[in-house]
Structure 1
Amino acid sequence: MKKIAIGIVAHVDSGKTTLSEGLLYQAGEIRKLGRVDHRNAFLDTHPIERDRGITIFLKQAVFNINDTEFTLLDTPGHVDFSTEMERTLQVLDYAILVISGSEGVQSHTETLWKLLKRYEVPCFLFINKMDIAESSHRDIILNLRDKLDDGCVDFSSDFGSEAFYDNIAMCSEKLMEQYLNMGEIKESDIQEAISERCVFPCFFGSALKLSGVDEFLRGLDKYTKSINYKSDFAAKVFKISDDGNGNRLTHLKITGGTLKVKQLLDGTTSDGENWSEKVDQIRIYSGTKFHAAEQVKAGTICAVTGLGNTYPGEGLGDEENSQSALLTPVLSYKVELLSDIDLHNALSNLRKIEEEEPQLYVMWNEQLQEIHIQLMGEVQLEVLKQIVFDRFGMKIDFVRGNIAYRETIAEQTEGVGHYEPLRHYAEVHLLLQPGKRGSGIKYYNKCNEDKLDKNWQKLIMTHLKEKTHIGVLTGSPITDIKITLVAGRAHQKHTEGGDFRQATYRAVRQGLKMTKNILLEPWYEFKLEVPTDSIGRAMTDIQQMGGRFSQPENNGVDMTVISGFAPVSGMMEYQSEVSMYTKGRGRLTCLPNGYELCNNSDEVIEKIGYDSERDIENTADSVFCSHGAGFVVKWNEVRDYMHVDSGFDIDGLQKEIDVSEKRTSEYISSVVTDKELMKIFENTYGPIKRDTYSVLYTKKSHVNNNKPIKNKPKKEQGEDYLLVDGYNIIYAWDNLKEYADENLDMARHKLINILCNYQGFCKCQVILVFDAYKVKNNPGEIEKYHNINIVYTKEKETADMYIEKVSHQLSKKHRVRVATSDGLEQLIILGNGAYRVSANEFKKEVDMVEKAIREFLKK
């Protein structure tokens, strides 16, 4: 039997729960249709859900169609509960996206589509409420292709017709070739195209009236394909819950092998501690009811008891942990206790709920004696109040706090922590380095076992991971930092495990105090649709809040769309403003897009008023021992007292960088122009007059060309520029081509990071150009990513056209080099007075730079 895990997702009020009822009823799983407005839906069983008429908690149901067993996961539709929905996507074989035929693609629909793409989930679409929709099937399909994907195909009205197969064939070259050669497309090939996200079947109907539901079920049965699973046991945890009787449930999907009752499972907690526990019971849920199973095979969605340390996103057995969530709360609230309950008991209760919803991020502020929590919005806030009261009898309220800021560092440093009160001893040395934006905290161990026993090293690494370390500017969690254990010392008699916890915490903190810290604020990726006569107001607002946006696009007769990025602090209350100045016609869609430098950090830091020196729970000071008594040494004097020399030299750091940059410059200076290519060009277009020596000199190079200084040609003025033809390089370098064959976005991202490192060493202005000339209505876009500029060319403008234009302009005042493998483009470059670097030559330069970086980091 074919086993398919399928999830149903939708913008709120699209009829998602009603469709779930219809699917289960038509499949014979339930005997009576429930309704949201009647508060008797089969899957919306919680009183809060029935009172509010929305899905809040993930529910599961099992039904069969012919030889296919479907496990349906009904996810929350409201944006405030979308973090649980996102976690669920990672265990789905297929998804059902419900769209209201009367409303079309709405704000949250586009967010859902991006998430489905991110997790590569094949998708069926059900266009609901067609009994009250004014648009035709054709108009809706055109809208779906415009807003979502060209692969949206009508499987209802056109099914089996010539137009149907024409539309299917247009979705991929493989299908087009088969259709042209054979005059038909096999069902198995349509299945494959759907599973590869080339085709998105669209069905129309009315779930409330059961119109089109049977047809949709047959389509699911016919066009889903069996999943090939691993032979060894593997499982992915996607939810933690309480069954109401005090039993902790771990909801997971078996992604390989078999799981049996009493089977011993191993894992690592989110704090880094290893655990080993037995499965007591395996439950297969359908609504609120379940049946127990002795064992379950790959493809099964189940819940197990007996596991007390699992967490959502954890991979068990031969399964990797999930990647970081895209949707994360960006609003922070202070918890106000209305019941007569101890603060620490309240914190313990909230921690239990945090296990089930990790994105809540419950935090105890020792200095202020306050509990803080992060939430997505007002609806989640009200629901959380009710959940806390129902489960613990505890009344709470929330006071709006700050934006959920983060902190990072701008320069690398060594942090030292020493803990030596009488009969205790531990010293830890950590290297703290800035990480890439969005990378989180990465932990490494480079400590020599001859200097510190391996068991102590493991303990230090555990202590590093077990705590949310906070910054010294505002007390916000740190992120985008690489922390490496480089040295440490224990005492043969006096060291205990807790000593290294103290030393480790103090080392992190001392390192932060020793370097330059940066405040980060959360940003949204936004899409704003307003009447054309309001576009000036909208653009001015976004600029004033520090946002950036691409060229506005017309969307219909009198509507214009602006897409871009802006700080959450500016966008937080902006929806109400949009509604006011557009008289209800404006629409704003926001999606969390990570963290960037805070625009008004001084103002924020002053407003929060955090004093790192007074934060006793997170001290940067160390404790040393003298004459049988411990004494405190301030963080800025610790290096004068420390017992271990890790070899890290802060003062010599810039010297190392200069040496590495010099090596890079010397290599680049050895790369000369292609004489053969120059000869071909000059024979065709005439001699080129340019400074042939200038390419040998960069701002920081000191190359000996065996010529007296006075004979060197005069340098051109201005900065050096490097233009890179992105797709040309990707397909010319074997390592990037392998990525591109699997995922072009991954290859682009890899090249972008490579060039960021390259620029950091060579100190030239890098412009990376990607060809987007085939993208319809594309206005072109230039964005700044870290230290390089990325260009996506406009419609009908190829990358070589853009490079030709820009190299001609820049070469008048700057040294310009262009990396490409395109022969014609190389000729054009030479004609513009720029210097050509072939893809192979450029690869050698990049390899040398990366080698220099590695050599430096080893020291």
Structure 2
Amino acid sequence: MWRLPQRTLNLGILAHVDAGKTTLTERLLYAAGVIDTVGEVDAGTTRTDTLALERQRGITIKSAVVSFEIAGVTVNLIDTPGHPDFIAEVERVLSLLDGAVLVISAVEGVQPQTRVLMRALRRLRVPTLLFVNKVDRRGADLGRVFEAVADRLTPAIIPMGTVTGLGTRAARFTPYGSGDPAFRAALTEVLVERDDSLLAAYVENERAVTGRRLRGELAAQTRRSSVHPVFLGSAITGEGVPALMAGLTELLPAEVGDAEAAVSGRVFKIDRGPAGEKIAYLRMFAGTLRARQRLPVTGVSGGDAEAKATAISVSEHGGWVRRPELAAGEIGRLWGLNGVRIGDTIGRPPATGGQHHFAPPTMETVVAPVRPGDDGALRAALAWLAEQDPLIDVRVDDTGREVSVSLYGEVQKEVVQATLATEFGIDVTFRETTIVCVERPVRRGEAVEVLNTEANPFQATIGLRVEPGPANSGIEFRMRVEPQAMPMYVYRNADTFTAHMSRYVRRTLREGRFGWQVTDCVVTMVDCSYSLADGPPSRRGPLSTPADFRNLTPIVLMRALDQAGTVVCEPMLRVSLEAPVWAISAVLTALGRLGAAVRQQSVRGDLTTIEAVVPAARVQHLQRQLPGLTAGEGVVESTFDGYRAVRGEPATRARTTADPRHREKYLTSLTRQGARN
């Protein structure tokens, strides 16, 4: 059925915990007529916090989507978590957004997570409006908030109105008009600083720069993420919300998507239906996806496949409506994509949206069921949680008894524990949390196993070279083998064989010489041959199978890795620490004891800001010491800053699979796996 093309705006609402993000979402839905009453976070009646645990704890854990209309624009609003332990859930949404609203409390002001979120928004150049919430609360101080925003977030801000009755229930927001002299002067000052043509026109003839032109330039610079209009109000009372809603459609880039272009979409969330069926949430960047249309899927971790959606529903006016197709700009739920993962691309990769910037989890812990009979159910439940969040890496040792998970923080661990209890009926305990390291190759290493030799039990020749790659580059796989040397009768074509070998290599590198994942390396396949029953004498023998290449790859790759050598690297966090000037000496001494490298130090008034890089394993010590060192006035914010080689004896981690360097044990493990399968 043909539908009139409509402008769409995919909008993110972001904030530090308790700044009022979910309450603002409720107020927007109420003002748009989607809900009849405004839900309350404390009462667990909000529309977007649907998980029982979210209602119980009063925090957002999983992103949620709800749609409404403003002045002919369809707004797909994505409510995201505010707690730093769930930053991955926020990060994966950012590349989908057309615009965002960053909520700041008028009482607490700019908080640590506010700064993390603003940096991410500016890095991805997401057009962002600021909403200073809670102007009706006692202790609201707009002067202090504006100063903190300019100092700690960005000076490119434009207040869009004023508040009377600040700090009382009678607080009222009055938008500035284009004719307001003070507003016009402030607006002109901010805009001309970022646009030379506007500056030239203003210098030549001040009167030629009309209020209408200034308003148009404000919208243009906001959409370029050059400036950030600031709205004020109260999500609880609804004050200032109508002005914010008008700003969404006027200042943020709401466009009509190109429904005729090649299909391009990205999976950003995985859920399960009542019958346990997999549901993929997809943002469509371009084209039109139809039910049962077969399309290519590019995996976020490498490798391609094909899939088709058996059913589609589209977010519409607060609910989900079944449709035969999903068009550009829309967000939909798709059934039938059983093999997809979060981050996978459907169709052509989007021209915009950038790359994912997921900071990896830096901690892990072993989880065990309280009831011994729950081992199998625990592994299945954790596998499902890892499917919802691919950065929760689940590892099971080769005995199948010890299970570990990677995490971002202690709150996330509590959430996992509560989720397992409430949703799966499994009570668990955790061991002490430890730090997750990685391994990096030191130099080049190369190894080969040749077909039909006594040491090689597999019907394949594989040669692999390993060498260091740039920092934070991940794993790159290259094919340097002629197509005629590849087993096309098994893998169909060179691209398919390359994709499978890439997966075998990546799977092997999950556990390196010291048990940690190997990263920042380039692996090149330099030799390959296979066996045919009626082939040339040099290759005649039993027919080669995919299992031969899959099982031989770890032996060759680990030999090459031994030759290259690896160094264990620990995660480092970049911390920004604010403390009273009088506490500088004590804080710097503490940082030195923790092995921190101080990068920058500045003083503003009676506060000092220290930028430093600290081993992730010691940041919790800093967080515990800081209140005592600063009489409770210190604030610390941390973000992932890469890895650094461990000083001294490298930490090791027990392998979950047999080590391919011990050939007999490795081959025995393959036999056991075959027997189980």
TM over 0.5: yes
Partner of 2:580: 531
Correspondence list, 1:236-251, <5 A: 236-251=266-281
In the alignment, structure 1 residue 396 sits paired with structure 2 residue 428? yes
- Equivalent of 1:304, from 334, 343, 349? 334
Measure the CA separation in 1 of the matches of 2:396 and 2:160: 53
Correspondence list, 1:749-760, <5 A: none
- Equivalent of 1:444, from 460, 474, 478? 478
Match of 1:97, SS state, is: strand
Partner of 2:186: 167
| Contact 1:472-1:513 within 8 A present in 2 as well | no
Match of 1:604, SS state, is: coil
| Contact 2:462-2:549 within 8 A present in 1 as well | yes
1:497–1:453 Cα change, 3 Å: closer
Match of 2:225, SS state, is: coil
- Equivalent of 2:389, from 332, 336, 357? 357
Query: Structure 1 residue 168: deviation in Å?
Result: 3.0
Correspondence list, 1:646-661, <5 A: none
Equivalent AA in structure 2 for residue 338 of structure 1: V
| Contact 1:37-1:53 within 8 A present in 2 as well | yes
Measure the CA separation in 1 of the matches of 2:360 and 2:65: 24
Measure the CA separation in 2 of the matches of 1:177 and 1:511: 62
- Deviations 1:444-487, CA, capped at 9 Å, x for gaps: 11112344445666436514425152454430111111001111
Measure the CA separation in 2 of the matches of 1:305 and 1:21: 28
- Equivalent of 1:208, from 222, 236, 241? 236
- Equivalent of 1:427, from 461, 467, 492? 461
Partner of 2:527: 487
Query: Structure 1 residue 186: deviation in Å?
Result: 4.3
Correspondence list, 1:219-238, <5 A: 219-227=247-255, 229-230=257-258, 231-238=261-268
Equivalent AA in structure 2 for residue 259 of structure 1: L
Partner of 1:465: 503
In the alignment, structure 1 residue 409 sits paired with structure 2 residue 472? no
1:228–1:465 Cα change, 3 Å: farther
- Is 563-572 or 217-226 further displaced after alignment? 217-226
- Deviations 1:396-424, CA, capped at 9 Å, x for gaps: 22212421000011101103346868984
Correspondence list, 1:834-853, <5 A: none
Partner of 1:478: 518
- Equivalent of 2:154, from 149, 155, 162? 149
| Contact 2:280-2:334 within 8 A present in 1 as well | yes
Equivalent AA in structure 2 for residue 20 of structure 1: T
Match of 1:573, SS state, is: helix
Equivalent AA in structure 2 for residue 167 of structure 1: A
1:282–1:542 Cα change, 3 Å: same
Match of 1:76, SS state, is: coil
Normalized per residue, the structure richer in helix is: 1
1:406–1:26 Cα change, 3 Å: same
Partner of 2:70: 65
1:491–1:343 Cα change, 3 Å: farther
Partner of 1:748: none
TM-score after normalising by structure 1: 0.68
Equivalent AA in structure 2 for residue 356 of structure 1: Q
1:490–1:130 Cα change, 3 Å: same
Structure 1: gaps spanning 5 or more residues: 624-629, 633-859
Measure the CA separation in 1 of the matches of 2:441 and 2:183: 56
Measure the CA separation in 1 of the matches of 2:409 and 2:58: 17
Equivalent AA in structure 2 for residue 183 of structure 1: V
Measure the CA separation in 2 of the matches of 1:486 and 1:94: 46
- Equivalent of 1:617, from 655, 658, 673? 658
TM-score after normalising by structure 2: 0.86
Partner of 1:330: 362
In the alignment, structure 1 residue 584 sits paired with structure 2 residue 624? no
Measure the CA separation in 2 of the matches of 1:359 and 1:322: 19
Partner of 2:24: 19
1:138–1:159 Cα change, 3 Å: farther
Correspondence list, 1:275-290, <5 A: 275-285=305-315, 289-290=319-320
Query: Structure 1 residue 368: deviation in Å?
Result: 8.6
Measure the CA separation in 1 of the matches of 2:113 and 2:588: 22
Measure the CA separation in 1 of the matches of 2:624 and 2:391: 26
1:409–1:228 Cα change, 3 Å: farther
Query: Structure 1 residue 497: deviation in Å?
Result: 1.1
- Deviations 1:626-670, CA, capped at 9 Å, x for gaps: xxxx999xxxxxxxxxxxxxxxxxxxxxxxxxxxxxxxxxxxxxx
Equivalent AA in structure 2 for residue 581 of structure 1: L
Query: Structure 1 residue 203: deviation in Å?
Result: 0.4
- Equivalent of 1:513, from 553, 562, 566? 562
- Deviations 1:740-773, CA, capped at 9 Å, x for gaps: xxxxxxxxxxxxxxxxxxxxxxxxxxxxxxxxxx
Measure the CA separation in 1 of the matches of 2:632 and 2:126: 34
| Contact 1:416-1:427 within 8 A present in 2 as well | yes
| Contact 2:270-2:342 within 8 A present in 1 as well | yes
| Contact 1:406-1:476 within 8 A present in 2 as well | yes
Measure the CA separation in 2 of the matches of 1:194 and 1:337: 51
In the alignment, structure 1 residue 84 sits paired with structure 2 residue 89? yes
Correspondence list, 1:675-694, <5 A: none
- Equivalent of 2:54, from 49, 56, 81? 49
Query: Structure 1 residue 544: deviation in Å?
Result: 2.5
| Contact 1:410-1:517 within 8 A present in 2 as well | yes
1:159–1:373 Cα change, 3 Å: farther
Q: Which runs of 4+ in 1 moved over 6 A?
A: 419-423
> Between Structure 1 and Structure 2, how many residues are aligned?
618
Query: Structure 1 residue 210: deviation in Å?
Result: 1.0
Measure the CA separation in 1 of the matches of 2:239 and 2:86: 29
1:631–1:350 Cα change, 3 Å: closer
1:203–1:359 Cα change, 3 Å: same
- Deviations 1:32-66, CA, capped at 9 Å, x for gaps: 11111222112222211111011112111111111
- Deviations 1:174-230, CA, capped at 9 Å, x for gaps: 443454442223433322111101110100111111111111111212222333645
1:167–1:507 Cα change, 3 Å: farther
Measure the CA separation in 1 of the matches of 2:446 and 2:651: 27
Partner of 2:644: 596
Equivalent AA in structure 2 for residue 492 of structure 1: L
Partner of 2:571: 522
Correspondence list, 1:559-578, <5 A: 559-578=607-626
1:133–1:592 Cα change, 3 Å: farther
| Contact 1:452-1:487 within 8 A present in 2 as well | no
1:394–1:281 Cα change, 3 Å: same
Query: Structure 1 residue 30: deviation in Å?
Result: 0.8
Equivalent AA in structure 1 for residue 571 of structure 2: P
Partner of 1:817: none
- Equivalent of 1:257, from 275, 280, 287? 287
